[in-house]
Amino acid sequence: MSDRVLEAIGRTILGGRLFDDETTVVWHAGEPCVLPPDWYVAATDRLERAGQRRILRQSFQTNATLIDDGWIDHFRRPGIGVGVSLDGPAAIHDRFRRTRSGGGTHARTMAGIDRLNRAGIPFHVIAVVSAAGMEYPRDMARALVDTGARWIGLNVEEAEGENTTSTLHAPDSLDRYRRFLDAFLDEVDRAPEPPLVRERERFLASARMTGRPGPSRNQENTAGAIVSVGVGGAVSTFSPELLGTTSTRYGSFDFGEIGAMSDLSDMFLHKAFLKAQRDIEIGNAICRRTCAYFSVCGGGSPSNKLGEYGTFRVGRTQHCDHAIRALYETLLDRTLVS
């Protein structure tokens, strides 16, 4: 990302009305640690000077394979959060997370996690649950708990962006996922000091909201809640996975170039944005009208709808069935039993 793009992001986003002290700058696309930490120090300084305000919250999602002493020092800076992508034990993780030469990355990821722990840097772990992982819920739980992460997140394998299929799209997948969740949570809870499980915390939070007016707010179908900027300056919103992708129905999801914008709201007048926004609203209305879980999820993810159906004008997706329906039904059953 060039200095020109960084300065434009600072002026237009940090200096704009939508950015506040609770906004998190997420360095996520690809592997952020490929660049040296000094680049992020300089980039943050350039963003702040152009936007004339401080960035109080940053987040790095990394595979941890490149974490060294320089990165440890960087992660100690105030306001920086660290997440590690780990899909469980080596036999599962290395099926999909490989180097360009085809080798597994699990050993190097665990070495990076060990560095974080020895330095006393808190982190969370996010695992992608595929059909392979669902067969070994207890092994996955033990592997994730043993990292020492403060909390664990489970991302069900999705059809979105460049991933056009999911191994979870099978007739018996929902029942298998429910069984996976039950056994996974049982194993996590056996730990002497079990970490938080993101999905369970969200369920408990939504239970506390029961009876209050209005549905939960889904950032992915709310214009401007998430703003993504590509390395060349292309700007998008809604699901981050839409940036840089195209579809037969909608064309590009680049809603302008950051250097050409006087204000971030300029993208709301872009022709491509208006076309996507219209259909996202139609799809959200279908969710609201037809799905009993709308009050807890606020409507499905646009990227999942596009990946599964090629349009935003739909309601429930297979991703919804796993990430919301099966999850909440399993957690509700566990709550009633206990």
Dihedral, 273, 169, 134, 32 alpha carbons, nearest 10: -30
* Any domain includes 330: yes
Q: pTM to 2 decimals?
A: 0.90
Helices 271-290 and 302-309 pack at an angle, to 10 degrees, of: 90
**What's the pLDDT at 98?**
87
**What's the pLDDT at 216?**
64
- Are 69 and 98 part of one and the same domain? yes
- Are 159 and 276 part of one and the same domain? no
**What's the pLDDT at 131?**
87
Q: How many CB atoms sit inside 10 A of residue 227's CB? A: 23
pLDDT of 215 higher than 70: no
- Read off the pLDDT band of 212 (50, 70, 90): low
**What's the pLDDT at 180?**
95
Region 84-98: what's the mean pLDDT?
94
Region 13-35: what's the mean pLDDT?
92
- Domains in the chain, number: 2
* Any domain includes 168: yes
**CATH classification at residue 112:** 3.20.20.70
How confident is the model over 268-284, as pLDDT tens digits? 999 999 999 999 999 99
| Weakest-pLDDT range from 156-160, 280-284, 327-331 | 156-160
* Any domain includes 319: yes
* Any domain includes 281: yes
pLDDT of 104 higher than 70: yes
**What's the pLDDT at 335?**
81
Query: Could you list the residue range(s) of the whole structural domain that residue 85 is in?
Result: 3-209
**What's the pLDDT at 35?**
95
Q: Which two tokens stand for residue 132?
A: 């392979």
- Are 34 and 134 part of one and the same domain? yes
How confident is the model over 57-78, as pLDDT tens digits? 999 999 999 999 999 999 999 9
**Beta strand pairing status for 251-252 and 235-237?**
unpaired
The residue among 143, 176, 209 that closes a domain is 209
- Are 78 and 134 part of one and the same domain? yes
CA distance 31 to 33: 6
Region 323-332: what's the mean pLDDT?
90
**What's the pLDDT at 102?**
86
**What's the pLDDT at 24?**
96
* Any domain includes 300: yes
**Alpha helices in the chain, H assignment, sequence order:** 3-9, 37-51, 69-75, 90-96, 106-119, 131-134, 137-145, 173-189, 198-209, 271-290, 294-297, 302-309, 318-320, 327-337
* Any domain includes 175: yes
* Any domain includes 153: yes
Region 125-145: what's the mean pLDDT?
95
pLDDT of 258 higher than 80: yes
Q: Which two tokens stand for residue 42?
A: 């300089």
Region 293-306: what's the mean pLDDT?
91
* Any domain includes 214: no
